Amino acid sequence: MEKFYLTTAIDYVNGAPHIGHAYEKILTDIIARHYTQRCDNVYFLTGTDEHGIKIQKTAAAKGITPKELCDENAQKFKDAWKALDVDYTKFIRTTDEDHEKIVQHIFDKLLKQGDIYKHSYEGLYCQGCECFLNPKDLTEDGLCPDHLKKPEVVKEENYFFKLTKYKDAIIKHIKDHPDFIVPEFRANEVINQLEDIQDISVSRAKSNVEWGIDVLGDDEQSIYVWIDALSNYITALGYDTENPSENFKKYWPANVQVIGKDILKFHSIYWPAFLMALDLPLPKHILAHGWITIDESKMSKSLGNVISPTSVLESFNLEHPDAFRYYMATSAPCGRDGNYSDDDFKEKVNAHLANSMGNLLNRTLSMLVKYFDGEVKPEFKGENPLAKKALGTIQIVKKHFDNFEIAEAGLEITSLVDATNKYVQDTAPWTLAKEEKMTECGQVLVNVLDVMCIIASLIYPYCPNIASDMAKQLSFDLKTKLDDLTADNIKCGKLISKEDIKPVFLRLDSELADKSAKKQ
């Protein structure tokens, strides 16, 4: 694999980041980290969407400029992703000067080649969706189905993109590439939407929407959100209509673009059409994840259940975000909705990270110190009955990631941890030591520690800090590529001393950790 380019949706900066934003960024970061274990050139793009009427109105209500509002809120997103160890390559803002310039050139190119035309239009416009809605898509009460608000009637002369021109080509691409839309069951939904597709407005009159990118040669029009926002995936790489950069040539097309299911239409219909019009290859996969509910209820400001992504870390007094990352990533099967609750979070991470994985490493190293002063002797090396399952798990995890089944891959790693725990219970090294079968005891411990190196490598994308602590105690190089992993990872000689054995994850209700009490 020569390169791997992945993107998230860019978040609208009309408000602060919430747990739904965090879910998407964590998923994408885990995919990115996994692929760094398989290739050397991984490029991970995220960022913020900063134009439009909502920004304009919110800024006006606050008595600040739209750019000041964007600067303030974009930083909140950056701070949140830093707190969650989201290790992106680039953070793009659609107010970046180079992005705005390239968007103007893209718009101008499509206009000159006849894919964009000017047209007077009257339609139902939803500010929340940032698009015109078809009357048949509204609820019985005439509301937007996503925002439950009545769209306003807007009459303007705008520029339109000939989306209908590309309808058949998009349908053919989806049918010819059944893995283009992930999960696959969403493809029919997109094809049904394509049946009634119409040309789309790609500009707004400046008299209505002033905060946007100017159309070259037309002082009365602002480039409308979708050409602006969607183009970030190529402008970030240095795409230009005349002379694309080497970076663009190296990384495009994207291997996967991670988005929420609510914006699938724009990414699987509008975006492919724009790319076809620009004569550019389409992304290989569009991954549409589900929503995160809170205690089985949809997040809503009116319900007061919108959770900021860092509040969980603060309320449980977590030193690093690994537990939250693991929980979120394994909260829902590929493309399905997930749920967050404090009780489930605590129960799950205690069971998987503290009781199963962390305790397995801790007690195995403790026995190595107790019985052998932390030394691995040559006679402890032999055939490992866990090797087949451990090496097989690597391949299963890779296959899950190839299908973007992040939760499923996480559960496979947990299964390997459970099998290793069972092996310890079945072989009972403490009994072997009591019976003075020291070589057999040492072999069991080293067999477990060899597998723990593989577990550390596999869990790294989910829990980079825990994996790093595990690798340090195992003297294992976490930079080892997955294809280079073997079942023989522990070196002979002194491995660890008693004072160097530390729990990699304390239970959330541990008195030592004092993490059960919520901060007041």
126 is catalytic: yes
Q: Residues, the chain, total?
A: 520
Strands 42-49 and 90-93: parallel
18 is catalytic: yes
Rounded CA-CA distance 223/204 in Å is: 7
298 is catalytic: yes
Sorted by sequence, the CB contacts under 8 Å of residue 520 that are 6+ apart come out as: none
CB-neighbour burial class of residue 172 (10 A; exposed 0-12, middle 13-18, buried 19+): exposed
Give the burial string for 461-485 (b: 16+ CB within 10 Å, else e): bbbbbbbebbbebbbbebebebeeb
Sorted by sequence, the CB contacts under 8 Å of residue 241 that are 6+ apart come out as: 102, 105, 106, 108, 109, 278
82 is catalytic: no
Rounded CA-CA distance 94/84 in Å is: 23
Give the burial string for 58-79 (b: 16+ CB within 10 Å, else e): bbeeeeeebeebbeebbebbbe
Catalytic one of 144, 334, 453, 463: 144
398 is catalytic: no
Catalytic one of 67, 249, 298, 518: 298
DSSP string of 30-52, one letter each residue: HHHHHHHTT-S-EEEEEEEE--S
Catalytic one of 21, 25, 99, 285: 21
Which tokens belong to 323?
């537990």
21 is catalytic: yes
Catalytic one of 25, 34, 99, 126: 126
Catalytic one of 34, 51, 129, 285: 129
Task: Compute CA 32 distance to the chain's CA centroid, rounded to the nearest angstrom.
Answer: 8
Rounded CA-CA distance 224/130 in Å is: 9
150 is catalytic: no
Q: How many CA atoms lie within 13 A of 504 on its CB side?
A: 32
131 is catalytic: no
Catalytic one of 62, 147, 479, 491: 147
Closest CA to 33 of 461, 399, 485, 464: 461
Alpha-helix residue ranges (DSSP H) falling in 37-128:
53-62, 66-83, 97-112
* Catalytic positions, written as ranges: 18, 21, 126, 129, 144, 147, 298, 301
